[in-house]
Amino acid sequence: MIGRLYSVVLAFSLVAIGCCDSVANAISTNEEALTSSAAPIVELADGAVQAAQTESSLPPPQSMNLESSSSDQQQHKTQDDQILALKGPKFVPEASKNITALAGRVASLNCRIKNLDNWTVSWVRHRDVSLLTVASYTYSSDQRFRAVHKPYFGEQPPSASHSGPGSGGSNGGSSKPFQQVQHLNSDLESLTDTYSDWGLEIHSSQPRDSGIYECQISTTPHRSLFVHLRVVEPSTTVLGGSEVFVGMGSTINLTCVIRLSPEPPNSIRWQHNNQMIGYDSNRGGVSVVTEKGIESSSSLLIQNARPADSGKYVCRPDNAEPATVNVHVLNGESPAAMQHGCSARQLSSAALFFFSVAMAVAANVKAQRNIWSFIYGVT
């Protein structure tokens, strides 16, 4: 019995010893793993101990790359701006000139663009920053404004990138092949260039429509071209006033002047008492001299004036309002009262002037007489 108990105790002791060895081995293994993964220890000169820094295999946090990312974005933006400046849309100022339009007619503003591609063109009234059109659509509530778009296939001015002969700089003859290649590339690019006209029409234009209009391309930042519009109302005037007096047998000379017209009138007609004057009529002695220019004029000449030639004369240009004058052919009057081309207003002004002078002289004479009478006692 005692022998059996001894055997059991011995067996349990062996098992316990084996478990302890296993646990010790496991603990030793873990310590070696921790020791191998820990940072190496470096002993400094003063006896202090510091853990040496080791490079980590993990990527740096995203916040550490903000500066480099911003720099890359700025570089890409600069490259995009350079590409846009070289290859982007451009205005053709030679085809987008300032306009002077006639009131009541259609005022047409043009904006020619090179290589528009997918960008959008808008027209803006600069006075009140009012958006008028976008692409081919009209945004203004004023139905007088209309967007007009059409491609342009005409000739264009030569490119500024073509330099003249001998412009190779200090390289001399060695730069000629490079210049030829550069000119060839420029010519090939010009073959692929596209041009289009984006216009703005203002129907029944009025002087209040005058001002600055902006043609805008939707790049970032947007590009703008300004066109000045001037809407004028031509004026028609007959020289000599509204009343003209001539003597019978003299020549009636009526001159009509048209000012502020954007273009010379196609025709200027004369009417007498609401009847068109015929230059080949039986009356004879009727002629018209017309001069067209910045200020157009028409002179009506009627020789050997008769009482039947009296009446209302109308100068009627086709691009301006008419002007009216009344002609009086006098019979039996003195030459002083029949000043050729002198109006009634001019006659009345002259008479008033001479009357004023006479009254002043009379008042002066009377004043002098009173003074001498006071001095010498002369009654």
Q: Is residue 269 part of a domain?
A: yes
In contact, 95 and 198? CB cutoff 8 Å = no
For residues 311 and 332, membership in a common domain is answered with yes
Residue 360 has pLDDT above 50, yes or no: yes
Q: Is the peptide bond before 221 cis (omega within 30 degrees of 0)?
A: yes
Burial of 287 (0-12, 13-18, 19+ CB in 10 A): exposed
Residue 245 has pLDDT above 90, yes or no: yes
For residues 147 and 250, membership in a common domain is answered with no
3-state secondary structure of 155: coil
Q: Count up the domains in the chain and report the number.
A: 2
For residues 241 and 263, membership in a common domain is answered with yes
For residues 211 and 128, membership in a common domain is answered with yes
Q: How confident is the model at residue 250 (pLDDT cuts 50, 70, 90)?
A: very high
Q: Is residue 84 part of a domain?
A: no
Residue 141 has pLDDT above 80, yes or no: yes
For residues 311 and 202, membership in a common domain is answered with no
Residue 260 has pLDDT above 50, yes or no: yes
CATH number of domain containing 253: 2.60.40.10
Q: Is residue 165 part of a domain?
A: no
For residues 215 and 243, membership in a common domain is answered with no
For residues 95 and 215, membership in a common domain is answered with yes
3-state secondary structure of 56: coil
3-state secondary structure of 332: coil
- Distance between CA atoms of residues 106 and 185, nearest Å: 42
Q: How confident is the model at residue 5 (pLDDT cuts 50, 70, 90)?
A: low
Domain boundary among 232, 251, 283: 232
In contact, 199 and 147? CB cutoff 8 Å = yes
For residues 248 and 272, membership in a common domain is answered with yes
pLDDT digits (tens, 9 = 90+) for 21-57: 554 554 455 455 444 444 444 444 444 434 434 444 4
In contact, 97 and 87? CB cutoff 8 Å = no
For residues 226 and 306, membership in a common domain is answered with no
Pairwise pLDDT comparison (304 vs 63), residue with the higher score: 304
- Distance between CA atoms of residues 95 and 98, nearest Å: 10
Q: How confident is the model at residue 104 (pLDDT cuts 50, 70, 90)?
A: confident
Pairwise pLDDT comparison (65 vs 258), residue with the higher score: 258
Residue 282 has pLDDT above 60, yes or no: yes
3-state secondary structure of 101: strand
**Measured CA distances, 177 to 158, 184, 360 (Å):** 21, 10, 94
Other Cβ atoms less than 10 A from the Cβ of 244: the count is 24
pLDDT digits (tens, 9 = 90+) for 154-188: 765 554 444 344 444 444 444 555 455 454 444 54
Residue 210 has pLDDT above 90, yes or no: yes
pLDDT digits (tens, 9 = 90+) for 211-232: 999 999 999 899 999 999 999 8
Residue 112 has pLDDT above 60, yes or no: yes
Q: Is residue 147 part of a domain?
A: yes
For residues 215 and 122, membership in a common domain is answered with yes
Domain boundary among 232, 261, 296: 232
**Average pLDDT value for the chain:** 73
State the pTM of this model: 0.50
Q: Is residue 100 part of a domain?
A: yes
Q: How confident is the model at residue 71 (pLDDT cuts 50, 70, 90)?
A: low
For residues 268 and 224, membership in a common domain is answered with no
Q: Is residue 348 part of a domain?
A: no
Q: Which range marks the domain in which residue 325 is found?
A: 235-342
What value does the mean pLDDT take over residues 198-208? 95
Give every strand in the sheet of 99-102, ordered side by side.
99-102, 223-232, 211-217, 121-125, 130-134, 137-138
Q: Euclidean distance between the first and final Cα of the chain, in Å?
A: 194
For residues 285 and 227, membership in a common domain is answered with no
Q: Is residue 146 part of a domain?
A: yes
Q: Is residue 118 part of a domain?
A: yes
What value does the mean pLDDT take over residues 245-251? 93
